[in-house]
Every structure is written in C-alpha cells, then in structure tokens.
A and B are shown apart, each in its own frame.
Chain A
C-alpha cells in the first residue's frame, strides 16, 4: 500500500506538470502576441517599448527556454507573474481561491443536505410518488444549463421579486472584515461583524443554489441506488427479523454502509465545483478562480493559464487518488494485480 501510494503521488506530480506542458504547447501555437494585448495602440507601434515588454515577460526567449523557466520557478514555488494583472500568479490564485472555496463548500453542503435525505427517502419509499418526485427533481436539476439557471435566479429573485441581493460577494455598502482566511463567513464571524456575515450569507444563497442544482441530481441518485443495495443486504433482513424499528434500521445500519460510494462520488462532485464554476462566477460577478480562468484564457496570459491548469490538475488528481484508494478498499475485485 505504501509503495502504491508513493508511486501514485509521484505519477501525480508528473502528470500535473505534463498538463501544464500540454497547455503551454497549445498556447505557443496560438498566433497571437500577448504583449500587444497589454499595450495601447500608440505604444504598440513603439518598437523599443514592445521589445522591453517582451523581455520583461521572457517572451523573447525560445519556447523550450520559456517552459524551463516556468519549471524552474515552479520548483521554487513561483508560478511567474501574470501578464494581465502584473502580479505573481500565486498571489492572484491566493486572492481568488477563497471566494471559490467558500462558494463550492457552501454549495456542496447544500447539495448534501438535500440529496441525502431525498435519496434515503426515495430508496425507502421506492416506486411511490415520493420516489418519482425525487427522480424528477434530480433529473431536472442536472438538465438545466448553469448559465441560464443563474440568469433566471437573478432575474426572478433579484430583478423581479427583489428578495435576493445582487451579484458579488458583498453589498456595495457592506464593510469587509479583516482578511484572515479569505472566506467571508469565517472572517466576519471571527471579527464579530454580524452585519457583514449576514450580508455575505445572503449573497451566497443564489449562486450556491445554482451550483448545488448541478450536482444534486447525481448525488441523490447515488444515495438512492446505494441505499437500495444496503437495504437488500442480509444483515438488514436479520435486523428486521429481530424486530428492530424500521427508522433505526435505515439510519443506523443501512445508511452508514450506503454512504461509502456516496463519499467517493461526492469527492468528485466537490472537485467539479471547485474547478468548474466559470459560468456561475461570471454571471454572479464572483471574484473566484473560475472567472480568473476565463480572463486569463481570453487574455492569452500564459503564466495565469498555466497556474490555473496546475491548480485544477492538482485538485483533480488528488481527488482521483482518494477515489481510487477507496475503490480499492471497498471492492476487492477491482484491485490491481
């Protein structure tokens, strides 16, 4: 097991770096010149200035050398400087990550809070209207385009009914708490700024509903399916024969066993939320990694793009590793020879 783990970690590191290499190679095939995007019209005609900028960003070096520089910086924990924000990419990521982490976590908890009870209920009351309703809700949630759902939420609850706050993490007049973790809920609670806490929570409602909707379906179906399996097990039959109450059987015996595959799927879902919330973040003007990804991509900001690729790759690989490990623990058939 230990050897397997070390090998996997090593291969993970290699793959994360490979991912950046692939992105880098594609990016170099792009015929555009990112320096021009940073310069005004008159400035772009000034050859000296353009050359100075190119030198500054290392863009006058041959491709392989640029990548080696990136790798060298990477080994020292330096992801280079973003061409569009003029700041170290690591700092950009550090600034934008908390917003995404907060949103993803809240959305995930919301999704879990809905899907576990719903899935259990659907399994226990199988083939009844409750089950069909649960299936309907799951399927619809998964089918709605995120960017459209976000728009509808804003249009209805913010524009129309005016019960929800608008885009952004905080209201225009709110006082931001002193920055400690970057998670507004945590920081404002820590500082005792309950007004801000309330405001931050209110701003989280709509976007987290949108994000949760995208994974509730999957999670509910998984909970239902694994609950059904758990309920069909022999030990449940034994418990019933012994005369235990149905609720106790469901909650204390079947559910814990049913949750194992849910945990693995949940991990993947969480990873998806962390790395793929571009649409939601764009529409809700959420200053997170998704939006940073999009803007880096548009600006052909190589360092920014590679920094994000690295982060996403690492998140996915870690989650994959955990998932595979848990597979190996549950299902001996799938263990590699």
Chain B
C-alpha cells in the first residue's frame, strides 16, 4: 500500500540527497556565488566591446550628465559618454591589473620568502628585514614618485604596486616553509640524502600551497581596490581609457548626478566580493579545522 507507515527506500534517498545539497549549499554557497561573479566579470572583460551598446570614447557634450534611461542604462558622464559601456570596458583594465600584480607579486614574494626560510640564518634575516623595509613604505608616495619619474600610465602604476606587493607573500611563504621545515618528514628526507631543491619542491611546496592559493585569490580583490584607488588619485590609465576608480573620481563632486560615481563603485565592489567569497570558500575547503565534524 502506498500510504504506508514505513518510509520507502526511494523517498529516503531523495531526502538524503536534498540534505546533502542543503549542506553543500550552506558550506559552499558563498564560494560558488563568488566564483560565478568572477566568471561573469571575466567574460564581460573579454567580450566588453561587443557587449557595449555605445563606443566608450564617444563624446557628446549635448548629452552630458543624463540620468539612467532606456538609451543609457546607467546614464551618461560629464562628457556625454555612456557609463554602462565605459563600465564594461573598464573591467578589462581592472581585472588584468589586479591579476597581474597578484600573480607576479605572489610568485616573486613566495620565491623570496620560501628560499629565505629554507636557507635560514643570515640570509633569512636580511631578506626579512628587506621585507620590513618595503612594507613600511607609504604606497601612495611610492606610486606618485614613480609616476613623476617615469610618467603616468598603467604599466608604471602596476610596477609601483609590484614593489610593495611581494612582501606579504614573502612573509607568509616564510612562515609556512618554516613550519614545514621543522617537520619530521623533512628531517627524514634529509637523512635519506635528498637534495634541498628536491625537498623544497616535492615536499614542502605542496603542503604550503594551500594557504598561498587562498591569499592569492583573496588578494586579487585587494589589488583591484588598490589599483582603483591609485586611478582615483590620477595615476594609472591615460584618458580616454576607462577605469572604474578614475570614473568614481570624475563623479566625486557630482552628488546630484550620483550615477557617475556610484555604478563604477558598485562594479568594483562586486568584483572584489566575488574574489573574496571565492577565496574564503577555498580557505574553508582547505582548512580541516573549519570542516564540520
């Protein structure tokens, strides 16, 4: 009989499946959302010019500062250019800059920190002091000084960011490698006669990679924020190339025409949230302590 008192195995399986999905959603929902956002923006960046309804550099002062409408979804800026189109194209610069800085800075920093930790002694000491020195630099001053010496432009801004970006990776890598270095398996490998490079790359690195990846992902958001900030201050892209931070700067005084500064900021916010959710999720996934018992 169908209206039985005992639950059937089929219903059981369905319920169990639903519970599993619920658990998965609770644990990785945020990370998945983050990943989706990041993916969406990457696609936007790649197909920006095709998706943009107007040419991003088209100036028309008779149509300046128009509020969002059917023609201009996010309104127009003070030169009459379509905010939405500029937003889409701006994704390219921001994403590329953020990723480049983190990847290059991360690689350089990790190498320096890892080698320092493995080498130990005086070399480690000097490398860490160098890290300290760079970290205590006001990044704004450095960026402006480099811009003044070498000229304003995206490349120089990325360069300035790279100079101050590698230390945190160096520090993290060093502490990770330090912990690993003192583990027993390393001692064992040493006794067995394995060379330091082999120990480093085949044993220490795989164990240290997790937290590094987490930092890398989380850091892209920070890099995009910093890059936008420097653009806001007038360093970075050369007009008329659009960039979100620079668009916010253009609309800074325009409280009544709020759309000029608000939407680029929302774009930055969403990209950074995406990377932060994603990185956070990866961290949870890797960290056994935060796994539910």
Q: Hey, what's the 0/1 contact readout for A81-103 against B, CB within 8 Å counting as 1?
A: 00000000000000000000000
- Number of chain A residues close to chain B: CB under 8 A: 58
Instruction: Kindly state whether residue A11 has any CB partner on chain B within 8 Å.
Output: yes
Instruction: Kindly state whether residue A255 has any CB partner on chain B within 8 Å.
Output: no
Instruction: Kindly state whether residue A209 has any CB partner on chain B within 8 Å.
Output: no
Instruction: Kindly state whether residue B233 has any CB partner on chain A within 8 Å.
Output: yes
Bound CA–CA A279/B225 (angstroms): 12
Instruction: Kindly state whether residue A241 has any CB partner on chain B within 8 Å.
Output: no
What's the dominant secondary structure at chain B's contact region? helix
Instruction: Kindly state whether residue A259 has any CB partner on chain B within 8 Å.
Output: no
Q: Hey, what's the 0/1 contact readout for B264-293 against A, CB within 8 Å counting as 1?
A: 110011001100110010000000011010
CB-CB under 8 A for A143 and B138, given A152-B262, A297-B144: no
- Number of chain B residues close to chain A: CB under 8 A: 51
Interface residues of A in 252-310 (CB under 8 A from B): 275-276, 278-279, 283, 293-294, 296-298, 300, 305, 308-309
Bound CA–CA A139/B37 (angstroms): 14
Q: Which residues of A contact B93 (CB under 8 A)?
A: none
Residue of B nearest to A29 (CB): B149
Instruction: Kindly state whether residue B21 has any CB partner on chain A within 8 Å.
Output: no
Instruction: Kindly state whether residue A239 has any CB partner on chain B within 8 Å.
Output: no
CB-CB under 8 A for A317 and B132, given A145-B228, A308-B141: yes
Bound CA–CA A278/B226 (angstroms): 12
Q: Hey, what's the 0/1 contact readout for A223-238 against B, CB within 8 Å counting as 1?
A: 0000011001000000
What is the distance, in angstroms, from A297's C-beta to the closest C-beta of chain B? 4
Choose among B129, B225, B256, B280 the residue that contacts A139 (Cβ–Cβ < 8 A).
Answer: B280
What is the distance, in angstroms, from B201's C-beta to the closest C-beta of chain A? 23
CB-CB under 8 A for A23 and B141, given A159-B255, A320-B132: yes
For the A-B complex, the count of residue pairs with Cβ-Cβ distances under 8 Å equals: 148
Bound CA–CA A139/B278 (angstroms): 11
Instruction: Kindly state whether residue A53 has any CB partner on chain B within 8 Å.
Output: no
Q: Which residues of A contact B289 (CB under 8 A)?
A: 228-229, 232
Q: Which residues of A contact B252 (CB under 8 A)?
A: 147, 151, 283
Bound CA–CA A337/B182 (angstroms): 12
Q: Which residues of B contact A23 (CB under 8 A)?
A: 137, 141-142, 145
Choose among A148, A155, A159, A333 the residue that contacts B269 (Cβ–Cβ < 8 A).
Answer: A148
Bound CA–CA A295/B249 (angstroms): 16
Q: Which residues of A contact B154 (CB under 8 A)?
A: none
Q: Which residues of B contact A139 (CB under 8 A)?
A: 30, 273, 276-277, 280
Instruction: Kindly state whether residue A136 has any CB partner on chain B within 8 Å.
Output: yes
Residue of B nearest to A28 (CB): B149
What's the dominant secondary structure at chain A's contact region? helix
Let me know if A152 and B265 touch, CB within 8 A.
Answer: yes
Let me know if A312 and B145 touch, CB within 8 A.
Answer: no
Bound CA–CA A71/B182 (angstroms): 43
Let me know if A333 and B179 touch, CB within 8 A.
Answer: yes
Instruction: Kindly state whether residue B140 has any CB partner on chain A within 8 Å.
Output: yes
Q: Hey, what's the 0/1 contact readout for B219-242 against A, CB within 8 Å counting as 1?
A: 001000100110011000000000
CB-CB under 8 A for A143 and B255, given A31-B149, A294-B140, A297-B144: no
Q: Which residues of B contact A70 (CB under 8 A)?
A: none
Let me know if B229 and A146 touch, CB within 8 A.
Answer: yes
CB-CB under 8 A for A11 and B140, given A127-B292, A147-B232: no
Let me know if B273 and A308 touch, CB within 8 A.
Answer: no
Let me know if A155 and B255 touch, CB within 8 A.
Answer: yes
Residue of A nearest to B273 (CB): A143
Q: Which residues of B contact A42 (CB under 8 A)?
A: none
Instruction: Kindly state whether residue A108 has any CB partner on chain B within 8 Å.
Output: no
Instruction: Kindly state whether residue B136 has any CB partner on chain A within 8 Å.
Output: yes
Instruction: Give 21 CB contacts A-B under 8 Å.
Output: A15-B136, A19-B137, A23-B145, A26-B142, A26-B145, A29-B149, A32-B148, A136-B30, A139-B280, A143-B269, A143-B273, A145-B229, A145-B272, A159-B256, A232-B289, A293-B138, A293-B141, A294-B233, A297-B145, A305-B141, A309-B141
Given contacts A30-B145, A144-B269, A276-B138, 11 further A-B pairs with CB under 8 A are A26-B142, A26-B149, A140-B273, A142-B272, A145-B265, A147-B245, A151-B262, A152-B262, A275-B138, A298-B144, A312-B137
Q: A-B pairs with the 8 shortest C-beta distances?
A: A148-B265, A316-B136, A143-B272, A297-B144, A30-B148, A159-B255, A26-B145, A313-B136
